[in-house]
Structure 1
């Protein structure tokens, strides 16, 4: 099992200092997608640029999951 961290980033990152253990990086990525789905429905979240950044125990970013994927794509065009 490896520890993965789930940072929130919307301009200024909020670091996850605890992390969670997963057998594979695919499990950690799926967890980030679940987090994004839950945050998408939280009325306190107002920044449409918010992403969940998955970081492995070596500090490498392995995935970035936008909370509002449509808003992210629209801002790129």
Structure 2
């Protein structure tokens, strides 16, 4: 199991210091998609440029998931 971190980024990142363990990077990416879906429906989240950035335990960004996909594009760095 590897630890993955899920930072929120809208220009200035909000760092996840705890992380979660997943067997694969694809599991962590799926988790980021679920986080984005939850945040998309949170009325307190108004920033349309917000991303969930998945960072692996070595510090490498492996995925960037937009909270509002109609406003931005998702991709792998």
- TM-score class, shorter-chain normalisation, is over 0.9
State the SS of the aligned residue for 1:70.
Answer: coil
2:52 is aligned to 52
Report the aligned-residue RMSD.
Answer: 0.6
Question: Please, what TM-score do these two structures have when normalized by structure 1?
Answer: 0.93
What number of residue pairs does the alignment pair up? 73
1:66 is aligned to 66
Where does the alignment leave 5 or more consecutive residues of structure 2 unmatched? none
State the SS of the aligned residue for 1:6.
Answer: strand
Q: Which has the larger radius of gyration?
A: 1
Q: Within 2, Cα distance between the matches of 1:72 and 1:2?
A: 28
Cα offset for 1:31? 0.1
Cα offset for 1:41? 0.1
Higher helix proportion, which one?
A: 1
After the TM superposition, list the runs of 4 or more consecutive aligned residues in structure 1 that deviate by more than 6 angstroms: none
